[in-house]
Structure 1
Amino acid sequence: QRQMRLANSEFKAATEIYKNTGNRAKELQSKVDGLNNKYRLQGRIVQEHRKRYEQLVREKGRDARETQIHARKLNDSIAVHQKLEKELRQVSKEFEQLQSTSNKAAGVFSVFKKNAGEVSEELQSVYSAAGMAGKALTGIGVAGTVAIGGAVKVAADFEKAMSRVGAVANASNDEMGRLTETARHLGATTQFTDGQVAEGMQYLAMAGYKTNNIIGAMPGLLATAAAGQTDLGVTSDIVSDILTEFHIAAEDTNRVADAMTYTFTNSNATLQQIGQTMKYAGPAAKTAGVSMEELA
């Protein structure tokens, strides 16, 4: 909620600046970027409310007063999410019309990534939870889509990337569903697109990771890449090497991310330099009983 208040403040300030200068293109670009950010943040708020609602259903029952109160909070947060979606569509359409080609508009539009008429698994679960709370939601068939140039290509590229992940990881249909759901969820809740997440998954698969390991490692991998401002391929190589050298479980990748981030933010070393050092010093440190954190 604090992040959303900050996003609202930044959105208002940025759009006012360009509005006052009369630069309509910059104003619309700023609005698209700001609404993109707000849409993602609101999606995270919806997810938190949904998790709390489902927990209350399990612990107290669907008809309990506290559960019903939180059901209303969940429905209200979904309504805000849908309102932002509608506004984002409208502004992006204006922006597209102002550009000479639709590709320029598609380049800044990263929230809606699926083909028209489909709903992402994560959003579908949100709407299902709201439906259980007793509020009928209609018109959700358009959620998670956008009808501007380049959107279909983005979706196709994502599907192609996920196919490569499945092939390298030798994933079953069920495992592919879980991998795809994870990629879309992380693409909506982090600074990375689902296509970039799929790329990161591919690197981990090439490093020998199986489905469960990939899913467990991705949040930590993305956190490390974001903190170090490094390419996902380079980051996955470094992280997977460290996990292997110190026999750390993939689910504990966040532990590596924290240690690496602390190290390169408190020294003159980059993530790549630390990774190279770990590559040579890691085996000896492990034999000597030195932990990954101590070596870092």
Structure 2
Amino acid sequence: MAVELGDALLHFVGNLRPLDRAYDRMKSKSKAAGATGTKAMRPMNAVLGQMKKLVAGIGIAFLAWKVSSIFKNAISAAGQFQSAMNRVRALTGATGDEFAKLNEKAKELGATTQFTAGQVADAMGFMAQAGFDTTEIYDSLNDTLVLAAAAQLDLATAADIVTNVMAGFGFQSEELGGAVDVLTAAFTSANTDLTQLAQAMKLAGPVAKNAGLSFEETTAAIALMGNAGFQGSLAGTAMR
């Protein structure tokens, strides 16, 4: 609603500009016509003067609305970030120093990558939920960012996917970088994406592991099935 109002105000002000230019042309002609022309222009002068005051008032109101909107968005983002970080602290039991380190890392990545600090905090939450401690979360963030960027997914979804896949194969946190490399190689070279790969892995992973297949072999098999038109749960079911 606020955006529609702002657009309407801009449209209204823009439509007054041709009228203003037409008025200037008429004013020039009235001067050339002498006293009669000047007298005829007086009512229009009054009307246009009032309209200009109205436009000035609208401009001030619109500016105030715009500034207010920016501040509201900033406050909302800060609140969401703090809420996400509080969740991380609750899940990890982080001490003051540990929490401060993660907090600063989220802000740093939010300022230097395509992701916001709030998105980084959400990803930390998924890692914490998967059992990562504060050090493991800190060390895993950069690899998770690479995965999310390559897959064109939000950071929290990428973190959720990779930690779920790792859990299925019994991987430890220090193996996340290797898992990211294997997954990225698969979805960037085959007819499947990371989400479909994760769906297939959810179904096929435990079976493949029990059958003695490695993570790399399982991922390669799912990628090949993607090239054959079997993706997501179809690929996972077929492998079972």
Q: Give TM-score, length-normalised by structure 2.
A: 0.57
- Could you tell me how far apart the structure 1 residues matched to 2:216 and 2:112 are? 28
The 5 A counterparts of 1:182-193 are 182-193=105-116
The structure 2 residue matched to 1:101, chosen from 48, 60, 66, is 66
Larger C-alpha radius of gyration, 1 or 2? Answer: 2
Change (3 A) 1:276 1:153: closer
Is contact 2:120-2:156 (8 Å) kept?
no
The structure 1 residue matched to 2:159, chosen from 236, 240, 244, is 236
- Could you tell me how far apart the structure 1 residues matched to 2:161 and 2:188 are? 17
The alpha-carbon deviation at position 184 of structure 1 amounts to 1.7
Q: Which residue of 1 aligns with 2:170?
A: 247
The 5 A counterparts of 1:102-121 are 102=67, 106=70
The alpha-carbon deviation at position 100 of structure 1 amounts to 5.4
Is contact 2:115-2:155 (8 Å) kept?
no
- Could you tell me how far apart the structure 2 residues matched to 1:199 and 1:166 are? 12
The 5 A counterparts of 1:1-296 are 101-102=66-67, 106=70, 150-296=73-219
Change (3 A) 1:242 1:98: same
Change (3 A) 1:155 1:223: same
Match of 1:101, SS? Answer: helix
4+ long deviations beyond 6 Å: none
Change (3 A) 1:100 1:246: same
Is contact 1:102-1:150 (8 Å) kept?
no
Match of 1:175, SS? Answer: helix
Question: What amino acid is the match of 2:152?
Answer: Q
Q: Which residue of 1 aligns with 2:10?
A: none
Q: Which residue of 2 aligns with 1:74?
A: none
Change (3 A) 1:281 1:101: same
- Could you tell me how far apart the structure 1 residues matched to 2:207 and 2:68 are? 51
Change (3 A) 1:250 1:171: same
Higher helix share: 2
Q: Which residue of 1 aligns with 2:55?
A: none
Unaligned runs of 5+ in 1: 1-96, 107-147
Unaligned runs of 5+ in 2: 1-61, 220-240
Identical positions, percent: 41
Is contact 2:126-2:156 (8 Å) kept?
yes
Please give the root-mean-square deviation of Cα atoms over the aligned residues, in Å.
2.5
Question: What amino acid is the match of 1:102?
Answer: V
How many residues align? The count is 158
Is contact 2:161-2:198 (8 Å) kept?
yes
- Could you tell me how far apart the structure 2 residues matched to 1:102 and 1:233 are? 30
Q: Which residue of 2 aligns with 1:49?
A: none
- Could you tell me how far apart the structure 1 residues matched to 2:85 and 2:154 are? 18
